[in-house]
Amino acid sequence: MAARRPPVPAEDVEINIMDDDDGNQLRGASGQGYSWEEEYKRSWDVLQEDEQGSLQGAVASIQQQLKRRRLYRDSATVQRGIIRHVYLGIDMSSAMVELDLKPSRLECTLTLAEQFINEYFDQNPLSQLGVVLTRRGVAEKITELSGNPTEHIEAIRKKDNRLPDGEPSLQNLLDLARTSLHHVPSHGSREILVLYGSLTTCDPGNILDTISQLKEDTIRVSMIGLSAEVQICRTICKETNGSYGVVLNEPHYKDLLFENVPPPPLAVAKSNSNLIRMGFPGSKVFEHVALCAW
């Protein structure tokens, strides 16, 4: 029989588990554990339970910090309009059926649109809003400019207005909204907010001509992209002094959308807006005695 080899003591075995097969160091900067463990941070560790074991206090504190940060961001001294006229454009093309936003792009967009309408009229009680959809290469106005949020929400909730189909037409959407905003008085702002999920657009003409007309009518266009950044969308927003952003997730989507709730700063050309006469009573002196009947 072959002689059995005696076991090697544990202290004589050196195993370097901090190196990979190529000899690269896997040790972290602190020398303890692996490097990827140091980059990993558990965000839930910052939440502290209250005496009843609830997390509502911690969540409320985080929301208060976000609200305070938003107030500090809007504390700059700028001139804003009181009366706004906004058309909310929603992409209802087949690109909205994607599931990268939960439960889907379409459901997430329509849900946030309803919340935006309520918040918009809450902070802009003298303003008006309308809703325009685009699908199958055309644009459809489902509500006119009005100050009734219930009317807009009911129109969005209709089954026929929640069916995505075909390709969107960005030019038709902007032209339809521009035509409706053309008659708005100069003392009110003219704005178009587009929620766009597609990477393409099916336009009947040159969309650069539409941009020129929007600038001529002093209409501000802001857009929120759901897929990726599109150059023509950024060009439209830049030329019309609007804002453009691409969503990362559902909370970021809501943040970008609700940034359009407060009135935007007025452009330099609009700083000398015409004053409007309000219905306050005035005093008048009569030279002769007149009969006054109430």
Q: Residue ranges per domain, the chain?
A: 83-264
Tell me the one-letter amino acid at 270: K
Q: What is the pTM of this model?
A: 0.70
Cis amide prior to 125 (ω within 30 degrees): no
83-264 carries CATH number 3.40.50.410: yes
Find the radius of gyration of the CA atoms of the chain.
29
- Contact between 207 and 234 (Cβ < 8 Å): no
Each residue's pLDDT expressed in tens, for the chain with a length of 294 residues: 555 555 555 454 444 445 555 555 555 555 555 555 554 455 555 566 666 767 677 667 766 766 666 655 555 566 777 889 999 999 999 999 999 998 999 999 999 999 999 999 999 999 999 999 999 999 999 999 999 999 999 999 999 999 999 999 999 999 999 999 988 887 789 999 999 999 999 999 999 999 999 999 999 999 999 999 999 999 999 999 999 999 999 999 999 999 999 988 876 544 455 566 667 777 777 777 777 776
* Distance, C-alpha 237 to centroid of its chain: 14
